[in-house]
């Protein structure tokens, strides 16, 4: 299976996926660093460990396709094409942020890149994604909508109602569940009897698939199919990406009271970025110096974003009522 997939994916695309995952990883680690210095307001939920999902899914989306995200959404935003400068500035509450500092980490919108928002409410964006798919269907716009959510959302009513309506109306939407096994501190097996999210697709009579969420090739392949199905009138798909956040729920949560160190270490060892690099070097598709160059590019890209955000002005308090 893996071999077959990797044959479909050429070297250029592999390196793009690698670059994307590295950017998502390094961006989050930089945010963690800045957050810990106290210079960043609010609170942040980092995407470290789950990069393969956003990178692998968004690789098959067009700019006009839409992504609805979650509270852990920086990765989705970057993978959908939101410039790092605008995202970093938004996290900093700066005027140059993609929402002018009104939204912050959990309410970041960049519709010009098809990024329809992170969302502070678990399950809150699933109906919105299905609704946007309804609009795409009605307007014949050819857009596909991806709804990202975590395992925490699948036991909420919005998941059920949205999948049901999307199914009955055959909407062009992909439901992308990032099952990182914990809803904050609640282990998925403690929250629900049926721990297969993918199997729930049967309840709505739509295709469902479980995917190894730390293997970017697997993610890419499954997502591509689902997106294609949606775009060609085949209706919604439920994808369950088995993944893991190697950091805490949010910055400040050690993430160790409810998980064993061994479990965290095991998942860390399955790092999607490291494993892709090793695989490509092992198969002779790429060499060390290419990865070093990508690292250098990523460092420069990130420095630029930080410098831009840091030096940007804060919003003018007099504008607080604008857009009200």
Q: Of these, 56, 73, 103, 221, which contacts other proteins (CB under 8 A)?
A: 103
* Nearest distance from C-beta of residue 224 to other proteins, angstroms: 22
Residues 128-157 that bind other proteins (CB under 8 A): 128-136, 138-139, 141, 143, 145, 157
CA distance 128 to 177: 15
Q: Does 82 bind other proteins (CB under 8 A)?
A: no
3-state SS, one letter per residue, for 186-220: EEHHHHCCCCCCHHHHHHHCCCEEEEECCCHHHHH
Handedness of CA 186, 187, 190, 192 (dihedral sign): positive
Q: Does 99 bind other proteins (CB under 8 A)?
A: yes
Q: Of these, 77, 91, 165, 309, which contacts other proteins (CB under 8 A)?
A: 165
Of residues 112 and 292, the one with the C-beta less far from other proteins: 112
Torsion of CA 72, 78, 80, 81, to 10 degrees: 160
If you write DSSP's letter for every residue of 131-199 in order, what string do you get?
HHHHHHHHHT----EEEEEEGGGTTSHHHHHHHHHHHHTT-SEEEEEEE-SEETTEEHHHH-S---TGG
Q: Which of 265, 289, 267 is nearest to 277 (CA)?
A: 289
* Nearest distance from C-beta of residue 143 to other proteins, angstroms: 7
Piece of the chain touching other proteins by CB under 8 A; list 31-39, 101-109, 209-217, 298-306:
101-109
Q: Does 117 bind other proteins (CB under 8 A)?
A: yes
CA distance 118 to 71: 6
Of residues 75 and 117, the one with the C-beta less far from other proteins: 117
Q: Does 43 bind other proteins (CB under 8 A)?
A: no
Piece of the chain touching other proteins by CB under 8 A; list 13-21, 94-102, 184-192, 303-311:
94-102
Q: Does 205 bind other proteins (CB under 8 A)?
A: no
Tokens of 322: 């604008």
Helix, coil or strand: residue 6: helix
Q: Does 102 bind other proteins (CB under 8 A)?
A: yes
Q: Does 183 bind other proteins (CB under 8 A)?
A: no
Of residues 93 and 213, the one with the C-beta less far from other proteins: 93
Torsion of CA 238, 244, 245, 249, to 10 degrees: 70
Q: Does 231 bind other proteins (CB under 8 A)?
A: no
Q: Of these, 100, 207, 234, 255, which contacts other proteins (CB under 8 A)?
A: 100
Inter-helix orientation angle 216-231/51-58, to 10°: 40
How many residues make contact with other proteins (CB under 8 A)?
46
Residues 6+ apart with CB under 8 A from 60: 220, 223, 224, 227, 228
Phi (first) and psi of residue 212, to 5 degrees: -70, 105
Of residues 93 and 248, the one with the C-beta less far from other proteins: 93
* Nearest distance from C-beta of residue 147 to other proteins, angstroms: 9
> Binding residues for other proteins, per CB under 8 A?
66, 68, 98-100, 102-103, 107, 109-112, 116-117, 119-121, 124-136, 138-139, 141, 143, 145, 157-158, 160-162, 164-165, 169, 322-324
């Amino acid at each position: 299976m893996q071999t077959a997939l990797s044959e479909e994916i050429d070297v250029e695309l592999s390196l793009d996926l690698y670059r994307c995952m590295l950017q998502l990883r390094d961006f989050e680690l930089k945010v963690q660093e800045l957050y810990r210095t106290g210079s960043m307001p609010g609170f942040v939920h980092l995407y470290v460990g789950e990069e393969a999902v956003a990178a692998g899914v968004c690789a098959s989306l067009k700019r006009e396709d839409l992504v609805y995200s979650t509270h852990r959404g920086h990765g989705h935003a970057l993978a959908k094409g939101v410039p790092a400068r605008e995202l970093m500035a938004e996290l900093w509450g700066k005027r140059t942020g993609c929402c002018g500092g009104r939204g912050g980490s959990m309410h970041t919108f960049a519709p010009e890149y098809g990024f329809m928002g992170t969302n502070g409410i678990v399950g809150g964006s699933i109906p919105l994604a299905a609704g946007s798919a309804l609009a795409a269907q009605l307007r014949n716009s050819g857009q596909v909508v991806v709804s990202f959510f975590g395992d925490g959302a699948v036991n909420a009513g919005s998941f059920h109602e949205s999948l049901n309506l999307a199914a009955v109306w055959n909407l062009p939407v992909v439901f992308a569940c990032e099952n990182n096994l914990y809803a904050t501190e609640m282990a998925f097996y403690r929250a629900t009897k049926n721990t297969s999210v993918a199997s729930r697709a049967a309840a709505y009579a739509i295709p469902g698939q479980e995917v190894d969420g730390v293997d970017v090739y697997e993610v890419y392949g499954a997502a591509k199919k689902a997106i294609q199905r949606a775009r060609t009138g085949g209706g919604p798909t439920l994808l369950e990406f088995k993944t893991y956040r190697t950091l805490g729920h949010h910055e400040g949560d050690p993430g160790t009271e409810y998980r064993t160190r061994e479990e965290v270490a095991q998942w860390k060892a399955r790092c999607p970025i490291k494993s892709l690099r090793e695989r490509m070097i092992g198969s002779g598709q790429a060499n060390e110096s290419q990865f070093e160059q990508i690292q250098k590019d990523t460092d420069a890209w990130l420095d630029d974003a930080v410098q831009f955000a840091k030096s940007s002005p804060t919003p003018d308090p007099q504008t607080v009522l604008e857009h009200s």
